[in-house]
Amino acid sequence: MGLIGRSTHTLDEIAAGQDADYVIFGPVFPTPSKPPGSPAAGLDGLRAAVAASRVPVLAIGGIDGTNARACLDAGAAGIAAIGLWMPGPDLGARVWAVREKKVD
């Protein structure tokens, strides 16, 4: 049996998602996948989501090598990202850095 996750954007959605195995919360930072000017929760919003959840919270939205560590430090159980995982010459190093929690 696989894990069930739920995508959330607000604390109300976090509360409603507690029947899942984990929740994804965001966007934490502005992201090109959302319209310009779309609100981002920021690290304070992520901390609040983690505090409100009984299940692991994964951070998503605008996460890259410069802010992934901050998401983990804010209590996220992990991160979900698109741009961070795009192919490139340093993809292996980025994966290793995130796994070892040694991102910039």
- In angstroms, rounded to a whole number, what is the distance separating the alpha carbons of residues 52 and 76? 12
Fill in the amino acid letter for 34: K
* Residue 33 confidence (pLDDT): 79
Indicate the pTM of the whole model: 0.81
DSSP code of 57? E
Average pLDDT per block of 10 residues along the chain, 104 residues long: 91 94 96 84 98 97 87 94 70 67 55
User: Regarding beta strands 22-25 and 5-8, do their DSSP bridges make them parallel or antiparallel, or are they unpaired?
Assistant: parallel
Three-state DSSP at 55 gives coil
Query: pLDDT value at position 85?
Result: 66
Enumerate domains of the chain plus CATH numbers: 5-99 (3.20.20.70)
- pLDDT at residue number 96: 66
Strand arrangement, sheet containing 5-8: 5-8, 22-25, 57-60, 78-80
